[in-house]
Amino acid sequence: MSSSTGTTGTTTVITNIATLVTNDPSLGDCSPLGLVRDAAVVIEGDRVVWTGESSKAPATDNRVDAGGRAVLPGFVDSHSHLVFAGDRTEEFNARMSGRGYTAGGIRTTVAATRAATDAELEANLTRLLSEALRQGTTTFETKSGYGLTVADEARALRLAAAHTDEVTYLGAHIVSPDYADDPAGYVALVTGEMLDACAPHARWIDVFCEKGAFDGDQARAILTAGRAKGLHPRIHANQLSHGPGVQLAVELDAASADHCTHLTDADVDALANGDTVATLLPGAEFSTRAQWPDARRLLDAGVTVALSTDCNPGSSFTSSVPFCIALAVRDMGMTPGEAVWSATAGGAAALRRTDVGRVAPGAYADLTLLDAPSHVHLAYRPGVPLVSGVWRRGVRVV
């Protein structure tokens, strides 16, 4: 057997799947999830080459019995901050205990990250990646943003690029403490020497467009400079307050506007009429006791929604997409099916990828096997380690 992608190699069928989420309506029940009951998947090399009912599966070299459990695409975590050192346990403890805390937030992590060796940063990165993989994440994006010097931002991206193609330059996370009295000078650095050093290691450019970080004019200048260097925009938008971030994202054809908590009707309309994905990050609201994003409002307007962890040491220190799915269903108005779609196909859309986030011929064989008969159990049984198998690029890794 060989596929249209030209893949050749050993073939494996995973059969006796109670419920298969394909995210291809043409392959299943015509829903967005493209559900197939009593299903099978055939893998050849690193790709999916066939899906359908178990009874119709072609002959293969190897056979795996799913045991009447569910299979879905590997999760696509399209927003994380994994290159850092230290943690912010004390800050979290103070926040959850109702006490004020003045340790400087992101600046605390910046100091620890600058002081860390490359080996220390990479060890923490790989630890978090392994943790995420065990929970079903097979594709992830990660950002710089905790160095805020030319050398530290460039090394963060270089380390990240050894582990993923989805690398984002976030020199514009906050104004560097070194430029506290000269934000214009820092924007010049981010769009000049720092961009030159970082662009070769990144695919994306991001900016935190928010009061206390970068305003709309600064964000436009930063994203436009990145685009001129071949980096595609994404943006931290409308997380803490209403602001220009979402409108700017749509104007610049950003792949995603991330957080999207405080939105006007005009913001929702802009997202619905553009190609920018709204990426929701409920771990941040959970960890800060902030207002939940209204996913229902976005979905009902026809906006494409992604769901991601925002894994970072300050505001969302979770690598668990299943946890975020449960939060989205419980507190953001999503159905279990919508949340699973947003954590797989939605994440792929936020990275402008069609080769991940679905189980269909030609896609990478990135699969998650649940110890449950249905994807609904991800929200139905929150906090339970349901992921019992993971395939990445056709190889079983969990």
Cα–Cα separations (whole angstroms), residue 45 to 11, 237, 292, 304: 7, 39, 41, 31
Stretch 220-234: mean pLDDT: 98
Give me the mean pLDDT over the 172-176 stretch. 96
Q: Which of 19, 33, 29, 18 is nearest to 340 (CA)?
A: 33
CA gap 145, 154 in Å, rounded: 10
| Per-residue model confidence as pLDDT tens digits over 186-220 | 999 999 999 999 999 999 999 999 999 999 999 99
The structure tokens listed for 174 are 């906050």
The answer to whether residues 39 and 396 touch, using CB atoms and an 8 Å cutoff, is: no
Say what the pLDDT of residue 122 is: 98
CA 147 – CA 144 distance, rounded (Å): 7
Question: Which of 148, 263, 152 has its CA nearest to residue 207?
Answer: 148
Q: Where residue 104 falls among pLDDT bands split at 50, 70, 90?
A: low
**Beta bridge partner(s), residue 40:** 52
Mean pLDDT of 165-187: 97
| pLDDT of amino acid 103 | 45
**pLDDT per position as a tens digit, 360-375:** 999 999 999 999 999 9
Residue 1 clears pLDDT 70, i.e. is over it: no
pLDDT digits (tens, 9 = 90+) for 18-55: 999 999 999 999 999 999 999 999 999 999 999 999 99
Please tell me whether residue 381 adopts helix, strand or coil conformation. Answer: coil
Span 122-141, average pLDDT: 98
240-260 pLDDT, tens digit each: 999 999 999 999 999 999 999
What average pLDDT does this structure show over 353-359?
A: 98
Whole-number percent of the chain with pLDDT over 90: 93
C-alpha separations of 104 from 127, 131, 314 in Å = 25, 27, 10
- Beta strands 387-392 and 367-370, pairing class: antiparallel
> Mean of the per-residue pLDDT values for the chain?
95
Determine the Cα–Cα distance for residues 171 and 149; give it in Å rounded to an integer: 8
For residues 8-25, give the mean pLDDT.
95
**Structure confidence at residue 4 (pLDDT):** 40
**Helices 106-115 & 150-161, crossing angle to 10 degrees?**
80
pLDDT band at 101 (very low <50, low <70, confident <90, very high): low
d(CA 64, CA 40): 10
Q: 3-state class of 264 per DSSP?
A: coil
What's the mean pLDDT in 150-157?
A: 98
The phi and psi torsions of 389 (rounded to 5 degrees) equal: -160, 145
**222, β-bridge pairs:** none
Residue 44 in 3-state DSSP? strand
Mean pLDDT of 334-358: 98
Is pLDDT above 60 for 376?
yes
- CA quadruple 310, 311, 314, 315: dihedral positive or negative? positive
pTM of the model: 0.96
72-85 pLDDT, tens digit each: 999 999 999 999 99
Strands 235-237 and 232-233: unpaired
| pLDDT for residue 5 is more than 50 | no
DSSP state of 116: S
Q: Which of helix, strand or coil describes residue 382?
A: coil
- At residue 6, the pLDDT reads 46
**Which 3 state secondary structure label does DSSP give 158?**
helix
Task: Check residue 8 and give its pLDDT.
Answer: 63
